[in-house]
């Protein structure tokens, strides 16, 4: 009963925020007594009964491939062990109070200035600059982040107490000297457009080198992306935040020892997509930045773009209680009257009710094409094809098994955690992945690609889920991550052939963000491998705990940090003991394998089927322990069914609630102008732009 869960969540938040829907709260009060509606970040077909690993019991550790090992996390005390608060005066800005800290490996002293305001904005409107502060700015501790569904109840409480939670356009600066002229690295956080925070960018690793690290907060969720393609709600507000932050950096970073002529943007997944938009948009002034790094994402990732946002905007308005949904003026008035928590709650309910595209996107959190914002006049694919973009020295790539993140949710939500379904064929499994990750595929381009490069004929006709798992993971990785990155780098290399560098991150260390952290570890029949955003474990100390303890992991972290910071310094990525990194001189290579050792490949399309290739080499992402346990449980169930009187077994409660049959099917407007751009092998004709029917 997804609708009931949604209503209850909305009522809880509305009560905390003293919103204007108290009458609805009273009406549903009886249904709310025995529910624990802790707000969750919305996912495709959100399932509150997802089973955590801890509930599944212990299994024998039979491993076919090296797996990340769970360890007791140690508190990250290093950053604060010798911290001191100090006050200084910055030219053009004024007095500011900061904090000292130490780097993680050599204990170098650094200065941190948290959450410096760089702008302010009316709801849904473009950000505007603000005057320098008066008095002493208290920048020695973090302020509240931008409103997000990750901390919905917390934001509700703050707003109830009179805090303007939308006043969040701030950035953090980490530097070793106020007198230097160091290259500047600006981190744009991800993963998707509804989550993440600038606190991810802890400086303990990167500031072992001579760089200034800046991390930016921008508006999230509906505050940064909701749109009616009108002057009142143009969309792409978050991009205007980033543009304003970059202008602030150009004007003031020299006061922190940074070089405004050497600014490098880097980010993961959604953050990388936003960076890519900054290179594509005609609304971005020249010389705000000079180099870019894409980690597992670009604006070509299907999750992040729409040209028809109105349907989702109306649905969010309906959930929030807006009476008139037909006129945009009425929508604007309603959205602007409601408090921030009410808008967040309605967006959260919308996300729970609506199956997502690309395992992380649905209406209200996508970049919009067209409209008065002027950010994206056309689809990013068309801008790239027409070479209507600014080329920058670029470093980009993806993790080896990024598709496991998406496969995890698809397995739970779309396949109902079933590894055996008589109605499913190999072809149907493939079609399910394409639909969930890319949306419509009317020309059959992705299906053709999958059949030719990933799956055998036997897989397609008779393949079981277990047999197809490596290929399905590859298909997720390719559509959502690897292909979008390659296409952007290919286009950039045409303009800057000597300054474009491609990589794959292959290192599977002791820890894995999605398999061993507190980030929703889920029991699924496959390992997470080198999963989405794992690069960041080796660029930043985890904000909450030390994630790296093994010597081998530290070695990889030092190598990755050296590559990233040297690229920021002069555009040439290099590290001690690593061969010179050749630029992308052909359509698909060369590219660097960043693993236990560094090697180079010639055809990046080989990475599109890497999990399948690994099976042939004796490694597999398939979790045999899962299937062994499943077989034991199935056998026990069969015996109980045959001899119910001989077994003293209590009735188990059903794991999943029955979905409301009358719940209207989710609309597909978020797919919008969904263009398919598939990279081709060198001995095939060049990549074509294939329009998908709307």
One domain, residues 135 and 230: yes
One domain, residues 415 and 356: no
Say if strands 212-216 and 170-175 run parallel, antiparallel, or are unpaired: antiparallel
Q: Which of 600, 627, 654 is the last residue of a domain?
A: 627
**pLDDT tens string 201-210:** 999 999 999 9
- Do you find a cis peptide bond into 217, omega within 30 degrees of 0? no
Residue 316 lies inside a defined structural domain of this protein: yes
Could you give the 3-state DSSP secondary structure of residue 246? helix
CA distance 461 to 536: 39
Residue of higher predicted confidence among 515 and 475: 475
- Contact call for residues 686 and 28 (beta carbons, < 8 A): no
CA distance 513 to 537: 8
Q: Which of 602, 627, 652 is the last residue of a domain?
A: 627
CA distance 515 to 527: 8
One domain, residues 348 and 411: no
Share of the chain above pLDDT 90, in %: 62
Query: Is residue 630 predicted with pLDDT exceeding 60?
Result: yes
Residue 112 lies inside a defined structural domain of this protein: yes
One domain, residues 104 and 128: yes
Query: Is residue 182 predicted with pLDDT exceeding 60?
Result: yes
One domain, residues 372 and 410: no
CA distance 652 to 671: 40
**pLDDT tens string 417-432:** 999 988 899 999 999 9
pLDDT at 259: 98
| Averaged pLDDT of the chain | 82
Query: Is residue 356 predicted with pLDDT exceeding 70?
Result: no
Calculate mean pLDDT across residues 451-455: 95
CA angle 615, 616, 621 (to 5 degrees): 5
Residue of higher predicted confidence among 16 and 290: 290
One domain, residues 329 and 363: yes
CA distance 642 to 636: 10
CA distance 568 to 263: 7
One domain, residues 231 and 163: yes
Calculate mean pLDDT across residues 473-485: 97
**pLDDT tens string 296-312:** 999 999 889 988 899 88
Residue 493 lies inside a defined structural domain of this protein: yes
Residue 346 lies inside a defined structural domain of this protein: yes
Calculate mean pLDDT across residues 652-679: 42
pLDDT at 307: 84
Least confident stretch, 7-16, 130-139, 399-408, 508-517: 7-16
One domain, residues 221 and 329: yes
Assign 3-class secondary structure to 464-499. CHHHHHHHHHHHHHHHHHHHHHHHHHHHHHHHCCCC
**pLDDT tens string 560-585:** 999 999 999 999 999 999 999 999 99
Calculate mean pLDDT across residues 232-236: 95
**pLDDT tens string 17-75:** 333 333 333 333 444 434 344 333 333 322 323 222 332 333 333 334 444 333 333 33
pLDDT at 16: 36
Domain with 343 in it: 94-171+180-255+263-386
pLDDT at 21: 34
Query: Is residue 240 predicted with pLDDT exceeding 90?
Result: yes
Q: Dihedral through CA 150, CA 154, CA 155, CA 158, nearest 10?
A: -170
Sign of the CA dihedral running 196, 198, 202, 207: positive
Query: Is residue 680 predicted with pLDDT exceeding 70?
Result: no
- Contact call for residues 102 and 94 (beta carbons, < 8 A): no
Query: Is residue 439 predicted with pLDDT exceeding 50?
Result: yes
Q: Which of 386, 402, 431 is the last residue of a domain?
A: 386
Residue 343 lies inside a defined structural domain of this protein: yes
pLDDT at 652: 47
Band of pLDDT at residue 543, cut at 50, 70 and 90 = low
One domain, residues 321 and 405: no
Calculate mean pLDDT across residues 162-188: 96
**pLDDT tens string 371-386:** 999 999 999 999 999 9
Could you give the 3-state DSSP secondary structure of residue 182? strand
pLDDT at 294: 99
Band of pLDDT at residue 646, cut at 50, 70 and 90 = low
pLDDT at 135: 96
pLDDT at 484: 98
Residue 86 lies inside a defined structural domain of this protein: no
Residue of higher predicted confidence among 292 and 36: 292
Beta-carbon contacts of residue 628 (< 8 Å; ≥ 6 apart): 59, 60, 62
One domain, residues 112 and 186: yes
Q: Report CA 224 to chain centroid distance, whole Å.
A: 15
Q: Dihedral through CA 609, CA 611, CA 612, CA 614, nearest 10?
A: 120
Residue 502 main-chain phi, psi, to 5 deg: -115, 140
Q: Report CA 205 to chain centroid distance, whole Å.
A: 22
Which CATH number fits the domain that encloses residue 527? 3.40.50.1820
Q: Pick the closest to residue 364 from 1, 667, 38 (CA basis).
A: 667
Q: Angle, to 10 degrees, between the axis of helix 445-453 and the axis of helix 426-437? A: 130
Residue 641 lies inside a defined structural domain of this protein: no
pLDDT at 83: 85
One domain, residues 243 and 379: yes
Tell me how many domains the chain contains: 2
Q: Pick the closest to residue 464 from 529, 527, 525, 400 (CA basis).
A: 525
pLDDT at 361: 57
Residue 584 lies inside a defined structural domain of this protein: yes
- Contact call for residues 242 and 188 (beta carbons, < 8 A): yes
One domain, residues 98 and 227: yes
Calculate mean pLDDT across residues 618-637: 90
**pLDDT tens string 71-125:** 333 334 444 556 899 999 998 899 999 999 999 999 999 999 999 999 999 999 9
Tokens, residue 633: 């449980």
């Amino acid at each position: 009963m997804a609708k009931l869960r949604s209503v209850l969540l909305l009522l809880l938040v509305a009560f905390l925020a003293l919103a204007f829907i108290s009458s609805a709260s009273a009406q549903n009060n009886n249904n709310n007594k025995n529910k624990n509606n802790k707000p969750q970040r919305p996912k495709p077909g959100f399932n509150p009964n997802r089973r955590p690993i801890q509930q599944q019991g212990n299994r024998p550790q039979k491993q076919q491939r090296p797996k990340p090992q769970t360890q007791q996390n140690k508190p990250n005390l290093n950053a604060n062990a010798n911290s001191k608060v100090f006050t200084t005066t910055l030219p053009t800005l004024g007095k500011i109070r900061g904090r000292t800290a130490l780097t993680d490996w050599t204990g170098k002293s650094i200065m941190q200035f948290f959450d410096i305001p760089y702008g302010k904005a009316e709801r849904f409107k473009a950000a505007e600059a603000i005057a320098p502060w008066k008095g002493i700015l208290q920048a020695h501790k973090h302020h509240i982040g931008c409103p997000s569904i990750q901390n919905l109840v917390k934001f509700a409480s703050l707003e109830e107490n009179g805090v303007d939670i939308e006043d969040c356009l701030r950035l953090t600066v980490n530097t070793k000297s106020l007198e230097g002229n160091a290259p500047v690295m600006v981190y744009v956080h991800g993963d998707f457009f509804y989550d993440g925070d600038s606190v991810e960018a802890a400086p303990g690793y990167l500031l072992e080198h001579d760089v200034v690290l800046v991390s930016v907060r921008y508006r999230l969720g509906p505050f940064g992306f909701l749109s009616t393609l009108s002057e009142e709600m143009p969309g792409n507000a978050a991009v205007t935040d980033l543009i304003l932050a970059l202008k602030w950096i150009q004007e003031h970073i020299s006061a922190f020892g940074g070089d405004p002529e050497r600014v490098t943007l880097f980010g993961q997944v959604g953050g990388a997509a936003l960076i890519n938009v900054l290179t594509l948009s005609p609304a971005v002034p020249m010389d705000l930045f000079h180099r870019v790094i894409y980690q597992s994402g670009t604006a070509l990732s299907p999750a992040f773009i729409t040209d028809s946002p109105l349907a989702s905007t109306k649905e969010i308005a309906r959930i929030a209680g807006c009476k008139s949904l037909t006129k945009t003026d009425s929508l604007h008035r309603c959205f602007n009257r409601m408090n921030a928590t009410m808008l967040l709650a309605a967006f959260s309910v919308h996300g729970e009710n609506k199956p997502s595209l690309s395992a992380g996107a649905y209406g209200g959190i996508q970049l919009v094409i067209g409209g008065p914002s002027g950010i994206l006049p056309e689809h990013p694919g068309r801008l790239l094809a027409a070479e209507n973009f600014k080329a920058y020295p670029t470093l980009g790539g993806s993790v080896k098994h990024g598709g496991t993140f998406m496969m995890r949710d698809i397995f739970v939500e779309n396949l109902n955690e079933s590894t055996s379904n008589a109605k499913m064929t190999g072809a149907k499994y493939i079609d399910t992945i394409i639909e969930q990750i890319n949306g419509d595929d009317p020309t059959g381009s992705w299906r053709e690609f999958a059949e030719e490069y990933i799956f055998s004929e036997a897989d397609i006709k008779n393949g079981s889920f277990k047999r197809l798992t490596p290929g399905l993971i590859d298909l997720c990785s390719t559509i959502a991550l690897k292909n979008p990155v390659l296409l952007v780098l290919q286009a950039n290399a045409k303009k800057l052939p000597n300054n474009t560098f491609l990589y794959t991150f292959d290192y599977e260390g002791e820890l894995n963000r999605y398999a061993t952290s507190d980030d929703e570890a889920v029991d699924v029949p496959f390992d997470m491998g080198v999963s989405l955003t794992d690069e960041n474990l080796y660029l930043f100390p985890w904000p909450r705990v030390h994630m790296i303890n093994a010597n081998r992991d530290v070695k990889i972290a030092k190598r990755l940090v050296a590559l990233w910071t040297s690229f920021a310094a002069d555009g040439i990525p290099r590290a001690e003991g690593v061969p010179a990194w050749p630029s992308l001189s052909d359509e698909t290579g060369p590219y660097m394998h960043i693993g236990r050792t560094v090697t180079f490949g010639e055809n990046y399309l080989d990475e599109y089927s890497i999990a399948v290739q690994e099976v042939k080499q004796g490694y597999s992402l398939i979790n045999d322990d899962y299937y062994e346990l499943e077989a034991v449980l199935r056998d026990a169930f069969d015996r109980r069914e045959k001899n119910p009187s001989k077994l003293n077994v209590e009735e188990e409660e059903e794991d999943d609630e029955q979905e409301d049959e009358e719940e209207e099917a989710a609309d597909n407007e978020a797919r919008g102008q969904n263009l398919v751009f598939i990279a081709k092998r060198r001995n095939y004709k060049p990549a074509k732009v294939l329009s998908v029917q709307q």
